[in-house]
Every structure is written in structure tokens, then in C-alpha cells.
């Protein structure tokens, strides 16, 4: 194994570490919302510093590989993909931290009726599942699994699109719960953006593995 191979393997390990942490962060906000667990939400906020530190470390390591080894072909695509995926993961970490902030500032547990009607738990399940799928795709270089992300994101889009009317109807019937309804709506908006980050990651996996640029492509499932 060459020195470059060793550095690339280490880079892959580091990326998997931040990936796993971001998935954990999102799962914790899911659990904190269901149980109204403010200490767990605070744990997410505290761990955001670790996510940021990992992101900076990976960025520096990518820069060092460019400077020292001048990678080409598949190695170059890999480092470029890692750089972009790293940024997508950091943004997903920010999203988890943002939702945790809502939970910390909420005054009472969220109405189960509101949670049910907005389908936010289904949205959580889908976004966490997408993050896990693109991680599995990255580790196995399975681009067919990466492509499933584009279809799965349609469910997040559907829930997000209907959220305004669902929340507006809930507030009309439960005006005293307007603040918590707006927290839920904001969390839905953030989870929809997790789906967008997963799509970006899937594009980078396909780029790295197949040398195929998917950005702005009309069809991303083939």
C-alpha cells in the first residue's frame, strides 16, 4: 500500500466517523422530541462542536493530500467527493442542532395530535434512513443504493409541502398551542433540507464511483 493509499483510507475512516455522529445527532433529536427530553436535546447541542471539529480536520486532510500527492483519476474524484460530502454532513449536523434548540426552548411536550397530523415522525424515519443508506452506499460503493435516495426524498417533499396547511388548520383549532406548532413546522423544514443534503451526497458517490456528474441531471435514477 502506497503512502497515498494510506492517507485515502484514513480520510475514508474520518468521513465515516462524522457521518455516524451526524446520524446519531439526528436520532437523538427524534428521541428527544418524542420523550420531550431536554437533557438529550442539550447533548445534541454540545456535540455540535465535535461535528464542527471533525469537519475542519477532514477539510485540512483533503488539502494536504492535494498539496502533497497531487492525486489523479479515481483518487482525485474520491478526495473531491469527500470534501463535498463532508460539507453536506456538517450542514446536516447544523440541522440536528437547530431542531434541538427548538426542543430546549419549548415550554411543554408536543401535542401528540400535532405530531401525528404533521407526519414529522415519518419524516424523521425517512431522513435518518436516507443518511444511513448513503453511508452504506459510500462504504460499499453501491451506486444503485445511492440512486434510491432521489426517490426516497419525494416523501420528504410531500410532507413538507402539506405542512403549511396542516399546521395552519391545527393553529386555528388550538390557538394556545401556536408556538409549539410553529416549532414543529420549522423542524419539518429542516428535515426536508436533510433530504436535500442526502441527494447531494448521493450525487458525489455516483461521481466518485462512476465518473458521472449527476448535478442538474434530468434523470437521476439511471
Q: Which residues contact 11 (CB under 8 A, 6 or more apart)?
A: 58, 61, 62, 65, 78, 79, 82
- Tell me if 129 is assigned to some domain: yes
Residue 32 belongs to what domain range? Answer: 3-210
Structural domain includes residue 220: no
Model confidence, pTM: 0.93
Tens-digit pLDDT profile for residues 113-161: 999 999 999 999 999 999 999 999 999 999 999 999 999 999 999 999 9
Ranges of residues in the chain with a pLDDT under 70 are: 214-222
Count of the separate structural domains present in the chain: 1
Q: How far is CA 221 from the centre of its chain?
A: 20
Alpha helices in 106-177 (DSSP H): 112-118, 120-140, 143-173
Residue 222 lies in a domain: no
Q: What sign does the CA torsion over 198, 204, 205, 211 have?
A: positive
Residue 47 falls within a domain, yes or no? Answer: yes
pLDDT of residue 113: 95
CATH number assigned to the domain comprising residue 116:
1.20.58.220
Amino acid at each position: 500500500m502506497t503512502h497515498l493509499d494510506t492517507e485515502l483510507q484514513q480520510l475514508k475512516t474520518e468521513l465515516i466517523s462524522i457521518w455516524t455522529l451526524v446520524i446519531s445527532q439526528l436520532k437523538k433529536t427524534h428521541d428527544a422530541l418524542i420523550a420531550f427530553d431536554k437533557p438529550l436535546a442539550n447533548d445534541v447541542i454540545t456535540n455540535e462542536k465535535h461535528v464542527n471539529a471533525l469537519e475542519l480536520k477532514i477539510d485540512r486532510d483533503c488539502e494536504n493530500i492535494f498539496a502533497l500527492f497531487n492525486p489523479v483519476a479515481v483518487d482525485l474524484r474520491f478526495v473531491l467527493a469527500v470534501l463535498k460530502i463532508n460539507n453536506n454532513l456538517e450542514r446536516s449536523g447544523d440541522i440536528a442542532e437547530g431542531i434541538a434548540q427548538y426542543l430546549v426552548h419549548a415550554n411543554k411536550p408536543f401535542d401528540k395530535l400535532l405530531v401525528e397530523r404533521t407526519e414529522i415522525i415519518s419524516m424523521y424515519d425517512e431522513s435518518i434512513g436516507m443518511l444511513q443508506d448513503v453511508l452504506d452506499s459510500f462504504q460499499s460503493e453501491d451506486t444503485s443504493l445511492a440512486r434510491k435516495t432521489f426517490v426516497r426524498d419525494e416523501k420528504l417533499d410531500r410532507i413538507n409541502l402539506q405542512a403549511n396547511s396542516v399546521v395552519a388548520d391545527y393553529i386555528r383549532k388550538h390557538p394556545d398551542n401556536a408556538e409549539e406548532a410553529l416549532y414543529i413546522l420549522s423542524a419539518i423544514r429542516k428535515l426536508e433540507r436533510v433530504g436535500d443534503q442526502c441527494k447531494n451526497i448521493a450525487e458525489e458517490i455516483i461521481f466518485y464511483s462512476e465518473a458521472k456528474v449527476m448535478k442538474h441531471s434530468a434523470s437521476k435514477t439511471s
